[in-house]
Amino acid sequence: MFFESEGLDHQGFCFRPPSEAYNILFQATLGCSHNKCTFCSAFKEKRFAIKDRSIWEKDLEFAEKYCRGQTRLFVMDGDALIMPMRHWEWLLSNISNRLPWVERVSTYGNAKGVALKSDEDLRRLREMGLSLIYYGIESGHPQVLKDIKKGATPEKLVEQALRLKKAGFALSVTVILGLAGTEKSREHAVETGRVLSAVDPEYVGALSLMLSEDAPIYERVRSGELVLPEGLDFVQELGLMFANTTLSDGWFMANHASNYLTVKAHLPEDREKTLQRIAAALDGRVSLRKEWMRAL
C-alpha cells in the first residue's frame, strides 16, 4: 500500500502495511538499502539514505500538534531497521518524550538489517519502544529466494527472525503467492509453510504476486521464462502453504486485495474450517475475488 504526500517532508511514494493506514507515518529513511528484490519496484527510484535530523524534528513537531488521536506510529521507508543505533535511540527517545500517547512503534525489517544488530542492540530497541517488525520472508524455497535476489537463505531468514522474537518483538511476516511460477509452485508452498512454522510469528500476511512493468521479474514473465499461476492455481498454492504452516498462537491472513480468496485464520483452532473453506473455493462453492477488484 502507498500514498504520495504533498505535505510535511514525505518524499515520493511512501509504502506502508495496510494495517498502518491510519497511523502516524514517520519517514525516517528513504528507499531500501537492499533494493534488489526482483518482484519489487517500490523503491527503485529512491537511493537509500537516512533523512536529516532537522527533518525528523519538523515531523515530530507536526505530530505533536496534529496527531494526538493516533496511538500507533510506523517508521518508513523500506527497511528502516537497518539504521545505526544512534539514530534509533534518538528517534525512539523523542517519540517517547514528545508523543507519549503513542502505544506502538513498528517498522519494516529484513534479515540483513537484523543481522547487523547485536542481541543487546535488539533488546535495547525493544526496551525503548519499538515493538513490531514487519519481516519479509517471501518464500522458504532456496532457489526461489535466489531467483528473486532476496539476499538471504531460508536458514538466515529463520535465524534472524528468531533473534527478533528472543528480543521480545512481535513479528508480522510477509509471504508471496505466485513467486515461483507454476513450475515450483508446490515446492514454494510447502517450503514456505515450513519456514513459517519454524519462525512461529504472531502474524502471517500472504499476498499474491501482481506484476508491475517496473519490477525486474516482469521481464522473466514477458519472455516466458516464468509462467505465473492463474486464479485457482493461486488458491491451491495458498491451501498447500496453509496446510504446511503450524503456528502456536498466531494469525494467518490472506486478506490483502491482491488475493483471489480471503482467509483470516487464528491458529491452531481455525485450521480445519479454513482448510474446508479453501477446498470449497477450489470446488467452486466459494466465489473468488474478481480480477478487476484485485489491487496492490
Mean of all residue pLDDT scores within the chain: 93
Q: Does the pLDDT of residue 243 top 90, yes or no?
A: yes
> Tens digits of per-residue pLDDT, 201-210?
999 999 999 9
Q: Any residues with CB less than 8 A from the CB of 230 and at least 6 apart, and which? A: none
pLDDT (0 to 100) of residue 5: 37
Q: Any residues with CB less than 8 A from the CB of 24 and at least 6 apart, and which? A: 63, 67, 70, 72, 73, 74, 99, 102
Confidence of residue 296 (pLDDT cuts 50, 70, 90): low
What is the CATH architecture of 2-293? Alpha-Beta Barrel (3.20)
CA 292 to chain centre: 24
pLDDT (0 to 100) of residue 49: 92
pLDDT (0 to 100) of residue 17: 87
pLDDT (average), residues 103-132: 97
Q: Which of 265, 201, 203 is nearest to 239 (CA)?
A: 265
Share of the chain above pLDDT 70, in %: 95
Q: pTM for this one?
A: 0.93
> Tens digits of per-residue pLDDT, 43-99?
777 789 999 999 999 999 999 999 999 999 999 998 999 999 999 999 999 999 999
pLDDT (0 to 100) of residue 212: 85
pLDDT (0 to 100) of residue 295: 79
pLDDT (0 to 100) of residue 106: 98
CB 147 within 8 A of CB 187: no
pLDDT (average), residues 217-244: 96
Separation between Cα atoms, residue 82 and residue 22, nearest integer Å: 24
